[in-house]
Amino acid sequence: MQKFVSIDEVDFIVGGTCSSTTLAAAPIANQNKTVMISAVSSAPSISEAGEYVFRTSISDVLRSEVGAKLAFDLGKRRMAVFTDISNDAFVELAKGAKEYFAGVGGEIVAEEEVLTNSETDFQTVLSKIREANPDFLMLLLGPTQIGLFAKQAREMDLNIQLIVPLETAEDKQVIEIAGDTVEGLLYIMPGNPPETPRYQELKNKYKEKYTEEADLPYLTEAYDAAMLGVKAVLASDGSREDICDKLFEVSKTYEGISGNIEFDENGDVVKETLIKTIQNGEFVVYTPNE
C-alpha cells in the first residue's frame, strides 16, 4: 500500500480483498488522500475507516440483520451463536445479529467461539449448545468448518436450524465434507447482479479472455469499483482531493453492473440481499414455503 501511494503515486486503488487488509491500509490511504475502493470488504467498521475509503459491496450490518430477521420470521426465539473470532468480519457479523435479534424480542441462549480457522473438533462446543437448547444457530465460520460442524452435529443427534449470514456457505467444500447433513442450511448472499446487456457483455468478455465462466464472487463489484475510480479521475482536476469528491458525484449517475452504486457519506452502498439454501446437494434460492 505504501508503495502504491508514495512511489507509484497512483490515482486510486481497488482493494483490499478482505476487511482486515482494507482496515490495515485505510490509515495510509487517508493520510495520503488516495481513494481506495474495496469490492469485497464487508466489516461494519469500514464505514468509519475514513473519507478516502469506499466499497461497492454491502456492509455486514445488513446481512446480519437479514439473517436474524429470517430466523425470527421463521418463529425462532432462542439463538445460539458460534464464531471464528480470528476473522474480524465474522465477529462484527455476530455482534450485529445478536443486537438485532435481541432488539426484536429474541433471546441469546449461547455464545461460543473458536480461536482459529484450523480447528476441526467441535464436540465440546456442540455439547454446550445442546445444553442451552436453542432453536437455531447462527454460524460464523469458513467453508471447511461449516461442513465439519454440520457433520459432527448430526453425529451427535443435534438437529438444529443452521443460518450463515454470509457467502462462506456457498462453497463446494461444505457439501463435500458434510454431505446431506448440511441440507436445509440457510445463508445470506449479496443479491444477484441485474440481468442487463452490460452484465452479459462483461460475462462474455471474461469468458473470452479466461476461457471460463464469469461466476466468481464479487466479479461485478470489482468491475464497478474500477470503472468508478476511472470515471472519478477523468472528471476531476487531477488532485487527490478532487478525485475523492468526484467519486461521490459520478456514483450518482453510474449504472452499476452489480446493482446500486451510489455512495453514502460513509462510502457505503445499499443493495438487495438474497437468501439461499442447500437442497439436494445444490445451492438454490430459498423460498419460504420450502
Show the domains of the chain with their CATH numbers: 2-57+217-253 (3.40.50.2300), 61-191+273-285 (3.40.50.2300)
Amino acid identity at 273: T
Q: How confident is the model at residue 216 (pLDDT cuts 50, 70, 90)?
A: low
Q: How confident is the model at residue 139 (pLDDT cuts 50, 70, 90)?
A: very high
Instruction: With beta carbons less than 8 A apart as the criterion, state whether 165 and 64 touch.
Output: yes
125, containing H or E segment:
helix 123-132
pLDDT at 99: 95
Smallest CA-to-CA distance from 67 within 112, 109, 98 is with: 98
Amino acid identity at 127: S
CA 234/CA 246 separation, integer angstroms? 9
pLDDT above 90 (res 156): yes
Three cell numbers, residue 207: 469468458
Q: How confident is the model at residue 98 (pLDDT cuts 50, 70, 90)?
A: very high
Residues 6+ apart with CB under 8 A from 162: 136, 137, 139, 146, 150, 153, 182, 184, 185, 186
CA 167/CA 217 separation, integer angstroms? 9
CA 52/CA 247 separation, integer angstroms? 10
pLDDT digits 0-9 by tens, 168-209? 899 999 999 999 999 999 999 887 777 788 888 998 999 999
pLDDT digits 0-9 by tens, 17-48? 888 899 999 999 999 999 999 998 888 889 99
Residue 88 or residue 68, greater confidence: 68
Tell me the mean pLDDT in the region 242-269.
Answer: 93
pLDDT at 217: 67
Tell me the mean pLDDT in the region 234-241.
Answer: 96
pLDDT above 60 (res 61): yes
Three cell numbers, residue 99: 443486537
Smallest CA-to-CA distance from 274 within 63, 99, 91, 81 is with: 63
Is the link from the previous residue into 229 a cis peptide, with omega within 30 of 0?
no
Instruction: With beta carbons less than 8 A apart as the criterion, state whether 200 and 220 touch.
Output: no
Q: Which residue has the cell 439436494?
A: 280
Three cell numbers, residue 278: 442447500
- ∠ CA 243-263-35, nearest 5°, is 30
Residues 6+ apart with CB under 8 A from 216: none
Residue 149 or residue 219, greater confidence: 149
